Structure 1
Amino acid sequence: MQILFLTGLAMIAFAANSLLSRLALVDGAISAEAFTLVRIVSGALTLSAILLLSQGAKGFYHQWRIGFYSGICLFLYALLFSLAYTELTTGFGALILFGSVQFSLLGMHLFQGHRFSSIEWLGILVSFSGFVWLVNPSSSTLVLWPILSMLLSGISWAGFTLLGKQSGAALPATTKGFIVAAVISISLIPWAFDTKSISSQGLIYAVISGVITSGLGYVLWYAVVPKISLLSASLSQLLVPAIAMIMGAFFLHESITTENLLSMGLILGGIALTLYQQHRQSSH
């Protein structure tokens, strides 16, 4: 029961990242670039403090090579994520993000030599059809750039995830990724982007996203992951878009249409089918 509760808290934290971004960006309380900068830097400071308290200075000695590459992926994820949420609704953006992450991981699985069964291909086809329905390419009101931005954000997050799996310890590797991403943010964002549009409200949302729903959320998630199966971890993340959609409707009064619910069911159901089939095959 405790593991279930902690897993639920981690998924709520992930969904809250989408909500906080949308709350900060929908009314222009802060620019997407400034939100990214504050979120990453505050997350890096939080994780560094946790690592220092738990492992001392020795926790910072190793894994900087992985941290360098994961930091680049983290920076791209966070910046593209924020840019996309200037236009996308909370649940819509989360669905594209986590769908993109899962498709990227499945693509890497295929690239590494795994051959999908007919049931796995069926799940992928169902998910892809749901995604096409969701973005509705024939719609004249569709704005493509935020969708593309969120897709690329998901690919970057998948890269961050894959690099994290190569590390022996999740907390040190994640902390170093945040530190590198913070250095990149401080180096590039103030010079390349407009950071003048910063209100106290937007700043508070960014700090909460960095410290609580990103920093502490990731620590919580990595504490839970070793205690559950890979299938449970993957399926748990599929709950995030649904939670984000509910949060968006409650806090921002965003509408939930029948089309959105059906497309979400196809995307997440198809991915769940593929993951379950992979789990069955690995068990055998």
Structure 2
Amino acid sequence: MRILLLTLLAMIAFAANSLLSRLALVDGAISAELFTVIRLVSGATTLTLILLLTQGRRVFYSQWKSACYSGVSLFLYALLFSIAYTRLTTGAGALILFGAVQFSLLGAHLIQGYRFRTLEWVGIGISCCGFISLVGPSSSFLSIWPVLCMLISGLSWASFTLLAKQSQSALPATTKGFIMASLLSLTLIPWLFDSGSFNTKAMMYAILSGAITSGLGYVLWYAVVPKISLLSASLSQLLVPAIAMLMGCVFLQEALDLHSITSMLLILGGIALTLYQQHASQSLKD
């Protein structure tokens, strides 16, 4: 019961990232660049304090080479995530992001030599149909630029996940990735002085997104992951778009229509089917 509760809290934190981003960026209250800088610096500060308090300074000084690569991935994810949320609704953005992450990870699996079974391809096909329904010509509420930004953001997040997976310890790897990403975010300084960029409330949302729903959210998630199966970890992340969509409906009065719900069910249902079949195939081999 405790693990289930912690998993749910982590998923709520991830969904809240989308909500806080949308709250901060709606109507140009803050620029995407400034939001990105504040979020990354807040996350890096929080994770560094947690790492030093729990594991000491010795762990802090090692494995910086891999952190450079993960920092680039994290920076691209955070920046494009923010740019996309200047236009996308909370639920649609989260759905595109997590769909892109899961497809990227499945693609990496394919490149590594895994061969999908028929039912897995069926699941991927269902998800693709849902995605086409979500972003196709009939979806007048979406435009191509923010969708493309969120897709590349998801690809970057998947890259960060794969790099972190190669590390022996998730917390140090994530912390150093955030530090490198926050340093890279300083290149955005020339774009930080747009008109209306310094809205106090929006800046607080950025700090909360970095320190709480990103920093503490990742710590919580990495504490839970070793205690649940890989299938459970993958499937639980599919809850995030649904939670984000509900949050957007409640806090931002975003429309929750049949079209968006159907697209969400197709995308997440297809991915869930693929993950389940993949897990079943692996279990038979073992």
TM superposition score normalised by structure 1: 0.97
Alignment length (residue pairs)? 283
Structure 1 unaligned residues grouped into runs of 5+: none
How much identity, in percent, do the aligned residues show? 68
Greater alpha carbon shift after TM alignment, 169-178 vs 63-72: 63-72
Change (3 A) 1:57 1:141: closer
The CA distance in 2 between the partners of 1:121 and 1:141, in whole Å, is: 29
User: Offset of 1:143 from its aligned partner?
Assistant: 1.3
Task: In structure 2, give the amino acid aligned to 1:246.
Answer: L
Greater alpha carbon shift after TM alignment, 133-142 vs 210-219: 133-142
Partner of 1:15: 15
Partner of 1:177: 177
The CA distance in 1 between the partners of 2:256 and 2:139, in whole Å, is: 18
Task: In structure 2, give the amino acid aligned to 1:189.
Answer: L
Change (3 A) 1:224 1:47: same
1:147 pairs with 2:155: no
User: Offset of 1:81 from its aligned partner?
Assistant: 0.2
The CA distance in 2 between the partners of 1:140 and 1:94, in whole Å, is: 18
The CA distance in 1 between the partners of 2:194 and 2:49, in whole Å, is: 26
User: Offset of 1:97 from its aligned partner?
Assistant: 0.2
Partner of 1:157: 157
Partner of 1:211: 211
Tell me the SS of whatever aligns to 1:27. helix
Please list, as runs of the form range in 1=range in 2, the aligned pairs for 1:1-284 lying within 5 A after superposition. Answer: 1-139=1-139, 142-186=142-186, 188-192=187-191, 194=193, 197-284=197-284
The CA distance in 1 between the partners of 2:25 and 2:60, in whole Å, is: 34
The CA distance in 1 between the partners of 2:153 and 2:88, in whole Å, is: 13
The CA distance in 2 between the partners of 1:138 and 1:258, in whole Å, is: 13
Task: In structure 2, give the amino acid aligned to 1:281.
Answer: S
The CA distance in 2 between the partners of 1:219 and 1:236, in whole Å, is: 16
Change (3 A) 1:136 1:166: same
Structure 2 unaligned residues grouped into runs of 5+: none
1:88-142: CA deviation from partner (whole Å, max 9, x where unpaired) = 0000000000000000000111111110000000000000010000112355664
The CA distance in 2 between the partners of 1:142 and 1:240, in whole Å, is: 20
The alignment yields a C-alpha RMSD, in angstroms, of 1.1
The CA distance in 1 between the partners of 2:248 and 2:142, in whole Å, is: 20
TM superposition score normalised by structure 2: 0.97
